[in-house]
Amino acid sequence: MVCELTIVIPTFNEKDNIAPLLQSLTRVLTGMNWEVIFVDDDSPDKTWELIQDIAQSNPAVRCIRRVGRKGLSSACIEGILATAAPYVCIMDADLQHDETIVPQMLKALKQESLDLVIGSRYVDTGGTGGLSAQRVRISKVATYISGLLLKHPVKDPMSGFFMFKRSYLEQILENLSIKGFKILLDMLVSSPAGLKYRELPYTMRQRSHGVSKLGTQVIWEFFLLFADKLFGRTLPVRFISFTVIGLSGVLVHLSVLWLLYRTGATNFIPAQALATITAMTSNYVLNNYYTYGDRKLTGWGFVYGLVSFYLACSLGAFINIAFAGWLFGMNITWWLAGFLGAMAGAVWNYAVTAIFTWREIGKGQN
């Protein structure tokens, strides 16, 4: 067999970690038929260039450079689908995951004919070693919430370190959401009840170089993953995210209005106008970060995006009022007419900004 094990490593600004990581992997995996596929989202620090250089002299190293796309889960899936090896392992590039258990993981998969082996921080001798107390707390809360929804009692469903049979992944491929950061969780939720898995303990190390990409955006994506599992067939999760942020805009609007008008700083009309602009701007910034984190607009793209967002939302407000007025004229009761008008405006804003503001292949990323 040419290649038995492919290690898929998503990277974003991990330049200083690549050489030490490859060294450790080579040390641990000598005698085995393995390769590594890095999936890099066009890192500004040019991680991809360094990997390409190494790949010139090392056929066991490959690099997929993705442009105009972003996201940990989708990067992993692209790496997995780029190999024909029967076993695939996913790990971080930053040496946080203990590569010395990789041979053990493969052995367990083969000998016990499992579908999945998870590197776990929460069984036996495993540990969160290098993680800050704050991170451990977030991880535990996320683990608890997922536990409520998972049919498999996995101790560490948030792990980013695991190995599986490629054939198993291909069976569940259609069911995956491929959104956000938590690909293992996505796989577990999408797996049949008969999934054969085992958790192997490991202690997480501290990141060697660079910074963690886990932020509030990742936490938001965690909830979107569940929303997608629950309503994904009927409602696009981006629309859910857009609507929740829209509701936050109502609060922003009312706060500004209160601040300016109620405190007597200005008259009603200027207060209302400023409140509208502030709410639209905060909606734009939040959507850019959370709803479209994978297509985030920056630099001039951010400014053009803001202008197109203002334009789309102004028309949306017009449609909202016109539609609600028409319904009200048809003798529809006031709250229903108001609600339907607002929803029509929201759908308009969502659809138009999805096409014009956050285009699929956008410029000005990263």
Which residues contact Mn ion (rule: CB under 5 A)? 92, 94, 96
345 binds ligand GDD, rule: CB under 6 A? no
**Chosen from Mn ion, ligand GDD, none, partner binding at 205 (C-beta under 5 to 8 Å by type):** none
For residues 142 and 346, give the distance between their C-alpha atoms in angstroms, rounded to a whole number: 30
Q: Binding string to ligand GDD for residues 230 to 269, with x set by CB under 6 A, is what?
A: ----------------------------------------
**In angstroms, what CA-CA distances link 257 with 36, 182, 321?**
56, 39, 20
Other CB atoms within 10 Å distance of the CB of residue 328: 16
Q: What are phi and psi of 277, to 5 degrees?
A: -65, -45
Instruction: Name the residue nearer to ligand GDD (CB basis): 86 or 201.
Output: 201
For residues 141 and 155, give the distance between their C-alpha atoms in angstroms, rounded to a whole number: 12
71, 294 in Cβ contact below 8 A?
A: yes
Stretch that binds ligand GDD, among 154-162, 249-257, 281-289, 326-334 (CB under 6 A): 154-162
Give the residue, chosen from 213, 282, 310, 311, that forms a contact with ligand GDD under the rule CB under 6 A.
Answer: 213
**Chosen from Mn ion, ligand GDD, none, partner binding at 54 (C-beta under 5 to 8 Å by type):** none
39, 79 in Cβ contact below 8 A?
A: yes
Stretch that binds ligand GDD, among 36-44, 243-251, 264-272, 282-290 (CB under 6 A): 36-44
Q: Name the residue number minimizing CB distance to ligand GDD.
A: 160
For residues 138 and 160, give the distance between their C-alpha atoms in angstroms, rounded to a whole number: 15
For residues 351 and 313, give the distance between their C-alpha atoms in angstroms, rounded to a whole number: 11
Stretch that binds ligand GDD, among 4-12, 105-113, 235-243, 246-254 (CB under 6 A): 4-12
Chain-centroid distance of CA 7 in Å reads 20
Give the residue, chosen from 18, 39, 88, 274, that forms a contact with ligand GDD under the rule CB under 6 A.
Answer: 39
One-letter amino acid of 25: L
For residue 139, give the nearest of 154, 159, 119 by alpha carbon: 159
275-304: contacts with ligand GDD (CB under 6 A): none
Give the residue, chosen from 6, 96, 287, 291, that forms a contact with ligand GDD under the rule CB under 6 A.
Answer: 96
Contact residues: ligand GDD, CB under 6 A:
10-12, 14, 39-41, 70-72, 75, 92-94, 96, 158-161, 181, 212-214
